Structure 1
Amino acid sequence: MVRFDNEISSSSFSSSSSISGRKYDVFLSFRGEDTRKNFTDHLCSALKREGIVTFRDDENLEVGEAIAPELFKAIQESWSSIIVFSETYASSRWCLEELSEIIKQKNERGHKVFPIFYDVDPSELRGQKGKVEEAFAKHGEKFKEEAVRWRTVLTEVANMTGWHLNNRHESELVRDIVKKISTKLRQTFSSAPKST
């Protein structure tokens, strides 16, 4: 059955975006082949049902193509980012470039960052072991300079508190995330001055 009551909450959250001067409430960063059709899809749908304006890139970026400028623009125009760290997140240089921009916006403009550790341990990201170590070995000499920056931002985010899938049901995790983001948005913008 289709629910229409989300249209009411949608209008309340769209005002949060206009108050903050940002186009999106959330930018979703994820490794497409890992979670696009399952966890990230369910999370994105749940955020939108709650009226949280969400950007998700559904284009497939091919090797050799430049990072789409609109991705960086979408991050810059977002109040926050949810980063879904999956097993092969670090093997995608596109994901690592997104992550770099997200951390840049966090440090320069107060962009909020919400990590999700989806079947990956934060210690693997911090120590860059296991699949992360394999990923950097594959990036090799070609991206040697970028790798220094990527390693730094991975460590920074791995030191943040976030959600862990562990043995939880995905639907339960999605509910917790949406509730937290919704609460944070309300807290942030309920006291913001209304534009006249």
Structure 2
Amino acid sequence: MGCCCSSNKNKYDVFLSFRGEDTRDNFTSHLCKALSQKKIKIYVDDMLERGDEISTALLKAIKKSRVSIIIFSENYASSSWCLGELVQILKCKKKNNKHRVIIPVFYGVDPSRLRSQHTKFVFSSKGSKAKRRAWREALNHAANISGWGSQNIRPESKLVEAIVEDVMKKLNRS
């Protein structure tokens, strides 16, 4: 997939990348609600229209979002889909550095485990050797971006508040 990430005509404020079975019904749902309450336009994968080719729709959403929040959970890297999103998010950031913001959230995962692809952090074995190399590089790169950690901020409601405040600042909203 190519990435032509123009900064004009952003359709969404935030693109959320997460492993659904890990966080959809708990942390991610609370974060979505809090962002929505601040009138922040969010893209979540359940917004796909019937008939859309999922990969194309997600690629467009990534391109048309100003901020990408990546929620790294225990099983995030076991999903080739999540890893594909991550690679595209980083490509967009590289192509349009000034206008793209990436906010990693380490949800029950230490960033050092991402960098080393620790054995307990299951890594998807699907895909070609080149794809797996790109995924490993993307995980390593993302783990080196300053982000938020669920192990550092308790309770989760405080973590959600901190992330929303950070997004508001990055979108230049008060």
Listed as ranges, the matches of 1:146-157 within 5 Å are 146-157=131-142
The answer for the alignment partner of 2:72 in structure 1 is 85
State the TM-score, normalized to the length of structure 1. Answer: 0.77
Distance 1:45 1:67 in 2: 24
Q: Which amino acid aligns with 1:33?
A: E
Match of 1:135, SS state, is coil
The answer for the alignment partner of 1:163 in structure 2 is 148
Structure possessing the higher radius of gyration over alpha carbons: 1
Runs of 4 or more above 3 Å deviation: none
Q: CA shift at 1:67, angstroms?
A: 4.8
Equivalent pair of 1:20/1:79 in contact (CA under 8 Å) = no
Listed as ranges, the matches of 1:1-196 within 5 Å are 20-58=8-46, 67-110=54-97, 111-132=100-121, 134-136=122-124, 139=125, 142-166=127-151, 168-186=154-172
State the TM-score, normalized to the length of structure 2. Answer: 0.86
Q: Which amino acid aligns with 2:80?
A: R
Unaligned runs of 5+ in 1: 1-18, 61-65, 191-196
> Which structure has greater helix proportion?
1
Match of 1:147, SS state, is helix
Q: CA shift at 1:59, angstroms?
A: 7.0
Q: Which amino acid aligns with 2:169?
A: T
Q: CA 1:27/1:174 → structure 2, altered by over 3 Å: closer, same or farther?
A: same
The answer for the alignment partner of 2:4 in structure 1 is none
Distance 1:59 1:33 in 2: 17
Q: CA shift at 1:130, angstroms?
A: 2.5
Distance 1:112 1:164 in 2: 17
Matched positions, count: 161
Unaligned runs of 5+ in 2: 1-6
Equivalent pair of 2:117/2:123 in contact (CA under 8 Å) = no
